[in-house]
Amino acid sequence: MNDSGARPLVLVADDDEISRLFIVETLDQAGFETLAVADGAAAFDAAMSREFAVALLDVDMPHLDGYELCRAIRSAARLRHLPVVMITGHDDADSITRAYDAGATDFIAKPVNWTLLPHRLRYILRNAEADRRLRHLAYHDPLTGLPNSQALAALVSSEITHAEAAGGGEGVALLQVGVQACTRIRSIFGPDVGDQALRAFAARLLSVVAAVDGDSGPHASVARIDGDRFVVCLRDRCARDRARMLSERIATAFDEPVPCGDHQFLLLPAAGIALSPDHGTDAKALLTHAAAAKHHALRIRATGAVFYSNDIGDRGRERLALEAALRDAVRAEQLTLYFQPKIRISDGSLVGVEALLRWFDAELGEVSPQRFVPLAEESGLILDIGRWVSQAACRQLMNWRSAGLETTIAINLSARQFAHDDPAAMIRTAASASQIDPKSIVVEITESALISDFDSVRAGLLAVRALGCRIAIDDFGTGYSSLAYLKGLPLDELKIDRSFIRNLGSEGVDAAICSAVLSMARDIGLSVTAEGVETEAQLEWLRAHHCDEAQGFLIARPMPGHEILARYADRGAADREDARVA
Amino acid sequence: MERGGRGGLLERVAAIFAETSARQIDAILAAVADEDLRAISAQCHALKSAAAHVGADGLARRVIELERAANARDVARVAGLADGLRVARATAVDALQTELARRTA
């Protein structure tokens, strides 16, 4: 039975006129609607053209007998799940077995018990409805109602088979579309708004696909395979061109913010396309390659869709291998920390060090942080690495203190750590394990990380500050952030990005910017560190403009912990002695 | 194609049965004369459902036995059962007409 209360439509196929009349009359009286035909071929045509709730088939019919008809129904995709009941006077074991082998749902022997027939059909319909719901749950995404990854895999396989059978250059295109903004929306506004945003994204994506369907070619299907990832599957003679056009329409459609309850969100998609047969001839390969292309689009911040290529695949595999090696390195604690000193410009004294991650792999050699840190971010390894860094930094601080060096240590945290971890708890645990006062710890976060997920970062920074840590904005000036951001944050320090320091010493735009930052920071009570100081001229300019602190190769390169100790322990003791005497 | 309907069912069934059963029995008897056991079985299969549907139990039983005899290739039994077919049908048609008359009275 359906939920709408409409009379379920029953297809009756029986060449015996009296049987037809009785079946039709009985079902009509019992609240069913019927369509009766006298032969198997007419029954199949009817089944293909209308939506029946159930089919009642006689076995002995001209043109197409009941068994053949049942098999034909089961092989037609749109009729695969239609309940089929065989009604026949052949009630021997062989006939019953043949009926079920042909795919019959149930078997009723003649003479029919007319009282029982409607009850039996209702029971079959209830089971069919339960099956339909189970299939829907198994093959659809509950949030958007779209087909899920399992349904998509089956669909892609079927489309590839059809394209191959059709020949004539027909191909299949998979367009994987990701919308990372939804993850950020979820972390800032909570899961309900995050879900709303995903539903709104799905609705707009569907409307674009439907509009393109209307303009050209056969129907394209949309599925949500997980999280923020959607896939459009289409089969066409011009699959490449159509996928390109679709991706352009999608990009244009999402140029406009998407209304979502009380909010308007800009949900910019990243898209990757894989084609069959060019990029793979099975569903798994095609899905993998579309994902790799989308991932690449995301990495290079492409505005349009990226087509898969072997180069993208190779780079993807390389990255995976590197990720695996990094995972092993994290597990085996093969990462190490180097420390770059930071001095007070007025007197040259050490005010702290910044902990910098280094990875020396036996096979790969030294792997640049520029290469492995983004990978750690993407893979989520940054969370484990972040915990290890805070513990290692605190242990190092304790060792230095035991050896007579008192200083502070800065650790870098990423937006992902604020979104998926509890940095305050992480630092508290690490500091406590090494009996370090959190006041000796400076937390650095880049300006771009800050604005990528402002609310969760701000909340995390407040918690970290409450422990007593100092907070510094790293790479300041590169993240296009508004000064309004700074007002709402518990900040102590700005670190001016090295790109502004490079040209100091000669008057110019960079010098003007540095002057402005120094002035603004002084006004709101923040200390300023210049990063990337490499020349005396730069240091002189900074001193002349009352910049507080400096860090860079001119002062010292990053070095292992024991070298910091060798270089600064005596000086630290001397500084303290001077202070005591004074 | 027929859409579901109501009313006059018994009259329609009686009329159809009177016509089709006569034709089917003619076909059965012709097949008996030809000793075409497969045709006998097929015709009996069609007639037995119709007979059972209209409540012609005597005719239905005889046709079922005839179908079984044909399937068992028991020619002598086929001939014996075929002999009484027309009488059994006439009895069934009369009973149907009587029932119709009773209902319309």
pLDDT, tens digit, 9 for 90 and up, residues A346-358: 999 999 999 999 9
pLDDT of residue A479: 63
Instruction: Identify whether the C-beta of residue A526 lies closer than 8 Å to the C-beta of residue A518.
Output: no
Q: List, for residues A167-215, the tens digit of each pLDDT value.
A: 777 899 999 999 888 887 887 788 899 999 999 999 999 999 988 876 5
Domain ranges of chain A: 9-139, 149-308, 323-473
**Closest partner residue to B49 among A25, A33, A110, by Cβ?**
A110
Confidence of residue B2 (pLDDT cuts 50, 70, 90): very low
CA B4 to chain A, closest CA, distance in angstroms equals 5
pLDDT at B3 over 60: no
Pairs of CB atoms within 8 A across A/B:
67
**Closest partner residue to B16 among A17, A28, A36, by Cβ?**
A17
Residues of chain A numbered 34-73 and touching chain B (CB < 8 Å): 34-37, 42, 46, 60
User: What class does CATH assign to A149-308?
Assistant: alpha beta
CA A18 to chain B, closest CA, distance in angstroms equals 6
Nearest CA in chain A to B15: A18
What is the separation of C-alpha A293 from the centre of its chain, rounded to a whole number of angstroms?
A: 14
Asked whether the beta carbons of residue B3 and residue A27 sit closer than 8 angstroms, the reply is no
Question: Which token pair is A466?
Answer: 């409450």
Confidence of residue B4 (pLDDT cuts 50, 70, 90): very low
Q: List, for residues B56-99, the tens digit of each pLDDT value.
A: 989 999 999 999 999 999 999 999 999 989 999 999 999 999 98
Nearest CA in chain A to B44: A89
**Closest partner residue to B1 among A16, A36, A111, by Cβ?**
A36
**Closest partner residue to B17 among A18, A36, A60, by Cβ?**
A18
pLDDT of residue A564: 95
CA A74 to chain B, closest CA, distance in angstroms equals 23
pLDDT of residue A351: 95
Instruction: Classify each residue of B14-39 as buried b or exposed e, where b means 16 or more C-beta atoms within 10 Å of its C-beta.
Output: bebbeebbeebbebbbebbeeebbeb
Q: What are residue A513's phi and psi, to 5 degrees?
A: -65, -45
Q: How far apart are CA A451 and CA A477, in angstroms?
A: 12
**Closest partner residue to A25 among B9, B48, B52, by Cβ?**
B9
pLDDT of residue A230: 96
**CATH entry 3.40.50.2300 includes domain A9-139:** yes
All residues of chain A having their beta carbon less than 8 Å from the beta carbon of residue B4 are 24-25, 27-28, 32-34, 36
All residues of chain B having their beta carbon less than 8 Å from the beta carbon of residue A46 are 1
Instruction: Identify whether the C-beta of residue A431 lies closer than 8 Å to the C-beta of residue A482.
Output: no
Neighbours of A365 (CB within 10 A): 9
Provide the whole-model pTM: 0.55
Instruction: Identify whether the C-beta of residue A412 lies closer than 8 Å to the C-beta of residue A450.
Output: no
Q: Please identify every stretch of chain A with a pLDDT value under 70, giving residue numbers as ranges.
A: 1-5, 214-218, 479-484, 506-507, 570-582
What's the DSSP call for residue A111? S
Asked whether the beta carbons of residue B12 and residue A89 sit closer than 8 angstroms, the reply is no
Among residues A336, A345, A337, A338, the alpha carbon closest in space to that of A554 is found at: A345
Asked whether the beta carbons of residue B49 and residue A18 sit closer than 8 angstroms, the reply is yes
Task: Collect all residues from B whose CB is shorter than 8 A from any CB in A.
Answer: 1-6, 9, 12-13, 16-17, 20, 42, 45-46, 48-50, 52-54, 60
Q: Which CATH superfamily is domain A323-473 in?
A: EAL domain (3.20.20.450)
Best of A9, A10, A12, A18 to disrupt the B interface (most B CBs within 10 Å) is A18
Question: Which token pair is A446?
Answer: 């880049």
